[in-house]
Chain A
Amino acid sequence: MVSESGLIEKVAQGLLFAQELDPRPVYSIKQHGVEIAGSEKTAYRRIKSLVPLGLATFNRGQFSIKKEAVSQPLNVIEKMLPSLLALKQARRFGRSYNNADINFVLDHKPDPSIITLDFRAWSLTKFQFPNDLYVYVNDIEAGAKFLKDSGFSEGDRGHVVLLPKIGSFENEIERVYLDCIANGDRSILDAVALQLLYPEQIAVKGRFPVEVVAKVQEDMPSERLQEIAPINT
């Protein structure tokens, strides 16, 4: 098994490449990739190195990047490797494709499972409404079998996501925080909200654009903001 520092070494060039790209939802390898990497071949190599960690996707000369995840300092990326690897192995399930699926899993989730991302972030911050239920389970195969036996189907549209337990869960808030950064997209806003509300519980601090932090501060429910003030003064 490759160590965390070994993995970072393997993706370091890819991370540097991704960090230099201006934010866009989709890039062209010929246009944007070559500009940074110098050649098409090198651009492909850089992008491919990020794929196993779920930090990039590519198809037919185009690619996308989890921009705010790759923009983190190396110590944060190293710390969030277990989150990245777990998310890469995530399996998504649905039955009714609405809240009923989530309620069913909350009622029947196996012990000892751990909820992370949307629902855990919501319970900790009340910042963004949750959408998907992400659950860490000890045995993902057994979890998947249980859901399938209960009428769930595996696919891309479901709202229940099983994750294998990889890495440490000792500091639960920090783990949820790192999961949020690793997941990218709107979970980045959850990460910022967690960092604002629980600064002492989070030892490894991510780096976020000023406008993202401002957006979270602005949209945070006022009663939560009042909690932030005494924490940060």
Chain B
Amino acid sequence: MHPLIREALKITEDLGPVTFVGAVAVFLHTVNTRESQDLDFAIAKPITREELLDKHYRFIVENGKEKTYTPRNYKIDIYSDRPLNKIPIKTIIETSKDFEVDKKGHKVNAMGLEALVLAKFRANRPSQDYPDLRALAVQRLKQIDWKLLEKLSGNKTEFDDLKNTLEYIAKQ
């Protein structure tokens, strides 16, 4: 099992239902990733600092910024109230998907394909989001629910642009 997925499974065991966004979601949709050792996830009910400390999560200030680490030393970023690239957390959780990650039936929940491509498109970082968009387009273009994607976007121009982009990069 990929180390990131092993850690995602441990976090799910520690904290209950969480929806992974970013690296873990990309990996689960494409089995392809080059990610740093940080995991981002959305959670419906905000988790307090005390709850995290009880579960041996750590808060460390580095370069003047507080970072949260799991007991296994992976950096995490939790989304519970702020939207992710203008996609409400509620929508991310509602459209998420369970992925079976081993033969014992263990599951990790991650952002749905449509919300993920929309988030990546909106983030628009050449070194991070373009390769993810490419991997998603090459491997999952046929599985995209375009109606859902259009609904999530809520903007016809953005939707057309994203669809056009995914169709182009899938052929490269």
Residues of A within 8 A of B (CB): 23-26, 57, 59, 62, 64, 67-68, 118, 127-131, 184-189, 211-212, 215-222, 225
Contact = CB atoms under 8 A, between A and B. Distances in A.
B53 to A, nearest CB: 18
B71 to A, nearest CB: 14
B17 interface: no
B34 to A, nearest CB: 4
A187 B130 CA distance: 12
B128 A25 contact: no
Nearest to A67: B126
Given A24-B124, A64-B168, A218-B67, 7 more contacts: A59-B168, A64-B172, A67-B130, A128-B36, A184-B127, A188-B126, A221-B37
Contacts of B150: none
A114 B171 CA distance: 31
A189 B128 contact: yes
Contact of B4 (A127, A129, A184, A220): A129
Interface string B123-145: 01111111101100000000000
B32 A57 contact: no
A59 B75 CA distance: 40
Given A68-B126, A185-B131, A62 B38 contact: no
A130 B3 CA distance: 12
Q: Which of B33, B38, B126, B165 has the most CB of A within 10 A?
A: B126
Given A59-B171, A219-B75, A25 B133 contact: yes
Interface in B25-69: 32-38, 60, 62-63, 65, 67, 69
A191 B170 CA distance: 26
A23 B127 CA distance: 11
B155 interface: no
A212 B127 CA distance: 8
B24 to A, nearest CB: 12
B169 interface: yes
Nearest to A188: B127
A62 B127 contact: no
A127 B36 contact: yes
24 contacts: A25-B134, A26-B164, A64-B169, A64-B172, A67-B126, A67-B130, A127-B36, A129-B4, A129-B34, A131-B32, A184-B126, A185-B127, A186-B34, A186-B128, A189-B127, A189-B128, A216-B36, A219-B37, A219-B38, A219-B75, A220-B36, A221-B73, A222-B62, A222-B69
A157 to B, nearest CB: 9
A212 B129 CA distance: 12
B160 to A, nearest CB: 12
Contacts of A128: 34-36
A218 B64 CA distance: 11
A114 to B, nearest CB: 20
B168 A129 contact: no
Given A59-B171, A128-B35, A131-B33, A68 B63 contact: no
Given A25-B133, A26-B168, A59-B171, A129 B35 contact: yes
